[in-house]
A and B are shown apart, each in its own frame.
Chain A
Amino acid sequence: MNSYWLKIEELLPNLLAHTLGLKKRIILGYIFTGTVAFVIALLAWGTFNRFSNDLHQIVFFSRHARENITFAAYMAEMQREALIYIHEGHNSAGEQVGVVYKEMIGSIGGKELPNAELILVQARTHLTAYYKAFQEVQRQRNIRERLVKIELRVYAVRAQQLIEELTRQEKIENRLECARMLNSFLQIEKNAYRYFDSLDGKFIQAASLRLQETRFILKKFTWSRTEELGSVLNQYESAFLEAVQRTRGYLYLVNVVMAAEAYETMYQAQKLSNLMISESEQIQGKVTAHISSRLWLLLLSSALLLLCIILFSYVITRSITIPLKQLTKTFKSLAAGSSEAEIPVYPLADELGALTRAAASFKAKNIELETSKKALEKSNDELEQFVYTVSHDLKSPIVTSMGFIAIIRKLADQGKTEQAFGMLDKVAKANERMSQLISDLLELSRVGRIDMDTTQLDLDLLLADFSSNQAERLAQEQFSLTIESKLPTILANESRILQVFENILSNALKYANQEKNGCLRINTYSDEQWHHLLCTDKGPGIPEEFREKIFGLFYRLDVNIEGTGIGLAVAKKIMRLHGGDIWAESGPEAGAVFHLIFPKATTG
């Protein structure tokens, strides 16, 4: 898990570092942070916008709730005004009802509610019905008013006049009856007015009774205008009855229809306001839930986005610091002179890329430096070895000659001249050897120092020539040289290569032909890189521990065999100069094998 995280932690910044330049990465970081901040602001805006919408709704509902309360108050006011009008007959009260009605119709609210439509329609219907009923009441009342105040009075006055006229014309004895009739009639009027005042039904009955009584009395008279009086009475009665009817009608309207409508309207208003309350409660609940959920969402998303910013900036920072750290490490080790410092992979051409390239060229310089240092060290070592060997080997004949000179002197002093002369030969040999060593050294130093002109050498031809040139010497030594055909062609210096084969041959003659009939066989094979030449003899072979030493300067395996020990050193130097090498191996049988390799590339 941990390692997985580590991988991701390394992988992401590396991926980023390998795809986007430094500047772009920094700009990307800023853009990302800005975008995230903008998104947070947007979320906050959305939340508060929503919140303010909800608040609007709450305010709206509370306003409507208030209006509904006002509505109830209006209703009460209207009813009060209506009752005042009905009982007192004030026209201003009646007009007031109309004003209140218009006000109410206009102010019924709650259209926004989904379930309010039906209630509203009903409330409006009932209110309208109430008002219509009220208008009907007004009409009825006006009619009654007319009946009571005008017609009834007209008929009453006419009846009274007729009765009084009758009284005047009748005889005295009938005058009592007349007074009773007038009285009865007045009773009718009284009861009628009482009824209109109190609206008590018993006055109607009383009035009817009085009317019958009046008619009954009237029948007792035979007067020319009795009929007229009767019809006046009838008219009076019918006007009274109509007025009663009208009164009853509007009472019915007032007490039943209007009350019912008012109740219905109030009921619907109540329903509406209940609905509103419940709706507003619901909305409040919703708003509260919304606000908390929105706030949570805002908080959560803000936290998430902040986390994103932190992660992203971490990744960006790492994408800068990881390559920088690697480069720092690299430069430290480069500054310490290392040529093996690891150059981090950085494919982009930004500032870090430039640094990486600088590190790479630094490394190349270090490698160059190290290579030349190694070459210098090697050549120093070789020089030291050379100087050492030369000083040691050149001193040796001097020591010999000086030593013998001293002996010769000593012998001469003792008078042993014969013996002294014999010693002179030793001195001469030592000096000869000295001169041989010097010429050998010159030869060795010439290899490589003198320009080597290389040509395409066909080894088949070269060695065939070599073999024929050496034929006489080989015959003398009774030594056979076998050269396989199909040798490769190499790019090399002819005389130097000949020198190598001469040295190998003369070594074979010295070491592998002590009992004569020795042989040297040269064969070849190739691999991908090299041409191999094997020079095999059937001599005693070379023990493994000396196979490297024999290529050293003036190294000889056997002091009894003539030579200075320069041949193989020269051969090695020549082979190295050609980009190849030479070493000794043990042969398939007893003998020694000199193994030469030439690089294939030089064959072209």
Chain B
Amino acid sequence: MCQKEHNLLLIEDSDDHAELTEFYIRDCCPAIEVNRLRDGEEAMTYIEQTKNTELSLPWLVLLDLKLPKYDGHEILIRFKNSPHLAKIPVVIFSTSNSGKDIEQALINHANSYIVKPMEPDRYGEVISEILSYWQLNEHHFFFYGPHQSDA
């Protein structure tokens, strides 16, 4: 389905959910490398690190909302306020379908909000749809910045 090598950032506290997500990512796009963070604090540390080091930035972020320590909303705000990271698409991937959560996430510039499905086969479908959708978004601008976009 997809060949390109991508770097995906998964912020998810539940080991089970992380395993499911990683399984389905491997299933449809084996080339994608998943980097998982286990709680809000790890995510904050990661965001801080991107400022100083020349880490390769992720292609897509899957962010759970209910996290130990800092929750997904706080991380989203911090993420979108970081000039390095703001352009990276962030997909909220949470069990919550509360209107409040959705509204707040969109206000804080989440690129997409997907509710974790409870049907047995939907989980894989949703993951594959997310990945294929964001793979359409192959602009140099996103990865190399405006100066190199013409090259």
- Find the A residue at minimum CB distance from B123: A403
Residues from chain B with a CB closer than 8 A to the CB of A409 are 120
Given contacts A395-B116, A426-B16, A555-B68, 13 further A-B contacts (CB under 8 A): A395-B95, A396-B17, A396-B95, A400-B17, A406-B123, A407-B20, A426-B19, A429-B16, A430-B16, A557-B68, A557-B69, A558-B39, A559-B39
Q: How large, as a class, is the contact surface on chain A?
A: 20 to 34
Q: CB of A398 within 8 A of chain B? A: yes
CB of A546 within 8 A of CB of B69, answer yes
Closest chain-B Cβ to A566's Cβ sits at a distance in Å of: 14
Q: CB of A176 within 8 A of chain B? A: no
The answer to whether residues A393 and B68 also contact, given A400-B14, A400-B16, A403-B20 and a CB cut-off of 8 A, is: no
When chains A and B are docked, how far (Å) is the Cα of A400 from the Cα of B116?
Answer: 10
Q: CB of A402 within 8 A of chain B? A: yes
- Find the A residue at minimum CB distance from B74: A545
Residues from chain A with a CB closer than 8 A to the CB of B15 are 559
Q: How large, as a class, is the contact surface on chain B?
A: 20 to 34
Selected contact of B120 from candidates A392, A405, A429, A558, CB within 8 Å:
A405
Q: CB of B145 within 8 A of chain A? A: no
- Find the B residue at minimum CB distance from A555: B68
When chains A and B are docked, how far (Å) is the Cα of A556 from the Cα of B15?
Answer: 14
Proximity string of chain A (381-409) to chain B, C-beta cutoff 8 Å, 1 when within and 0 when not? 00000001001110110111011111101
Residues from chain B with a CB closer than 8 A to the CB of A395 are 95-96, 116, 118
Residues from chain B with a CB closer than 8 A to the CB of A429 are 16
CB of B38 within 8 A of CB of A406, answer no
Closest chain-A Cβ to B45's Cβ sits at a distance in Å of: 13
CB of B94 within 8 A of CB of A559, answer no
Selected contact of A399 from candidates B13, B117, B121, B124, CB within 8 Å:
B117
Residues from chain B with a CB closer than 8 A to the CB of A400 are 14, 16-17, 20
Residues from chain B with a CB closer than 8 A to the CB of A559 are 13-15, 38-39, 68
The answer to whether residues A392 and B20 also contact, given A406-B121, A406-B124, A546-B69 and a CB cut-off of 8 A, is: no
Selected contact of A402 from candidates B19, B96, B100, B123, CB within 8 Å:
B123
Closest chain-A Cβ to B138's Cβ sits at a distance in Å of: 29
Q: CB of B150 within 8 A of chain A? A: no
Residues from chain B with a CB closer than 8 A to the CB of A404 are 16, 20
Binding site for A on B (CB under 8 A): 13-17, 19-20, 23, 38-39, 65-66, 68-70, 94-98, 100, 116-124
CB of B95 within 8 A of CB of A392, answer yes
- The main secondary structure of chain B at its interface with chain A is loop
CB of A388 within 8 A of CB of B96, answer yes
Closest chain-B Cβ to A580's Cβ sits at a distance in Å of: 27
CB of B16 within 8 A of CB of A558, answer no
Closest 4 CB pairs between A and B?
A: A403-B20, A395-B95, A400-B16, A406-B120
CB of A402 within 8 A of CB of B39, answer no
- Find the A residue at minimum CB distance from B67: A559
When chains A and B are docked, how far (Å) is the Cα of A398 from the Cα of B13?
Answer: 16
- Find the B residue at minimum CB distance from A400: B16
CB of B117 within 8 A of CB of A393, answer no
Residues from chain A with a CB closer than 8 A to the CB of B66 are 392-393, 396
Enumerate 16 A-B pairs (CB-CB under 8 Å) in ascending A order.
A391-B96, A391-B98, A392-B94, A392-B95, A395-B95, A396-B95, A398-B118, A399-B116, A400-B14, A402-B119, A402-B120, A404-B20, A430-B16, A557-B69, A559-B14, A560-B38
Residues from chain A with a CB closer than 8 A to the CB of B121 are 406
Residues from chain B with a CB closer than 8 A to the CB of A410 are 124
CB of A388 within 8 A of CB of B98, answer yes
When chains A and B are docked, how far (Å) is the Cα of A482 from the Cα of B14?
Answer: 36
Residues from chain B with a CB closer than 8 A to the CB of A399 are 17, 20, 95, 116-118, 123
- Find the B residue at minimum CB distance from A396: B95
When chains A and B are docked, how far (Å) is the Cα of A392 from the Cα of B19?
Answer: 19
- Find the B residue at minimum CB distance from A394: B95
- Find the A residue at minimum CB distance from B115: A395
When chains A and B are docked, how far (Å) is the Cα of A480 from the Cα of B9?
Answer: 42
Residue picked from A393, A399, A402, most chain B C-beta under 10 Å: A399
Within 8 A of B (CB), among A410-455: 410, 426, 429-430
Selected contact of B118 from candidates A402, A549, A555, A560, CB within 8 Å:
A402
Residues from chain A with a CB closer than 8 A to the CB of B98 are 388, 391-392
Residues from chain A with a CB closer than 8 A to the CB of B96 are 388, 391-392, 395
